Amino acid sequence: MPRANCGFTVAWSEIFRNRFKGQPLKGVALSFGSHTVRGEAIITRAGLEGGAIYALSARLREAIGSSGQATLRMALRPDLAMQDLMVQLSRPRGRQSLSNFLRKAAHLSPAAIGLLQETAIASGVPLSSLSSASLAGLINAVPVELNGVASIARAISTAGGISFNELDADFMIRRLRGIFAAGEMLDWEAPTGGYLLQAAFATGAAAGRGALKWLSRSMG
């Protein structure tokens, strides 16, 4: 069953996943293709999940389905213009560790700094060797390679299911007389934020009314 509003897997290093699993990356902007979503992403042992990820999940799922991977761009300080970020990062670092410097100069959380370090290690270019311009560029476009869709056990909802064409106007399955379908059994997809529950309740109520109608007809 295709997952919707779901997380994705990332080949995190053991050090990164053990240290940051469960931690949120708040106020980020995630871009995939021409689509950008603001919100929160949560680091999991397997990869990433959370509201902003779910909002892009249909597109990411399709890209992974066709090419096996999808590269997200994550802006960790989306409200800061590149120029302002560069100015802040051009301040002398003195004897501070790079993590401390980034925390103070760019107001990044430990998880965000961990993600930058993880990316730098994967690319073979140490963060400390980057100019303030390159660092500013990286902070607002961290590439994160997603290599799969996370397990259905953690998905918020599903895509696919019984097609609406298979139902009559009362939500009865045409080929299974007396059997009614509603909610996630049906083939539809919606974002989180109450839309899924609303559609589950609405189709449930419609199927319930349909079942009553069917019973009164078959009994009378």
Ligand X SMILES: Cc1cc2nc3c(=O)[nH]c(=O)nc-3n(C[C@H](O)[C@H](O)[C@H](O)COP(=O)(O)OP(=O)(O)OC[C@H]3O[C@@H](n4cnc5c(N)ncnc54)[C@H](O)[C@@H]3O)c2cc1C
Smallest separation (angstroms) from ligand X to the CB of 186: 8
How far CA 211 is from CA of 80, 163, 170, in Å, comes to 56, 19, 8
Q: Which span sits near ligand X by CB under 6 A: 11-19, 23-31, 84-92, 193-201?
A: 193-201
Q: Which residue of 137, 161, 183, 208 would you call a contact of ligand X, by CB under 6 A?
A: 183
Q: Which span sits near ligand X by CB under 6 A: 44-52, 165-173, 190-198, 208-216?
A: 190-198
Residue recorded with tokens 């980020």? 28
* 173 DSSP assignment: B
Nearer to ligand X, 179 or 197 (CB): 197
Nearer to ligand X, 68 or 194 (CB): 194
Give me the phi and psi of 49, to 5 degrees please: -145, -175
Q: Which span sits near ligand X by CB under 6 A: 10-18, 75-83, 111-119, 194-202?
A: 194-202
Is 39 among the residues that bind ligand X (CB under 6 A)?
no
Smallest separation (angstroms) from ligand X to the CB of 161: 9
Residue among 35, 71, 41 nearest 53 (CA): 41
Tell me how many residues contact ligand X (CB under 6 A).
11
Is 194 among the residues that bind ligand X (CB under 6 A)?
yes
Q: Which residues contact 140 (CB under 8 A, 6 or more apart)?
A: 75, 76, 77, 78, 80, 82, 85
Report the Cα 16 to chain-centroid distance in Å: 19
Give the chain's length: 220
Nearer to ligand X, 121 or 162 (CB): 162
Cα angle 169-175-180, degrees, rounded to a multiple of 5 = 50
User: How many angstroms separate the CA atoms of 15 and 41, rounded?
Assistant: 19
Three-state secondary structure call for residue 195: helix
Is 156 among the residues that bind ligand X (CB under 6 A)?
yes
Smallest separation (angstroms) from ligand X to the CB of 71: 27
- The residues of the shown chain that bind ligand X, judged by CB under 6 A, are 156-157, 183-184, 192-197, 200
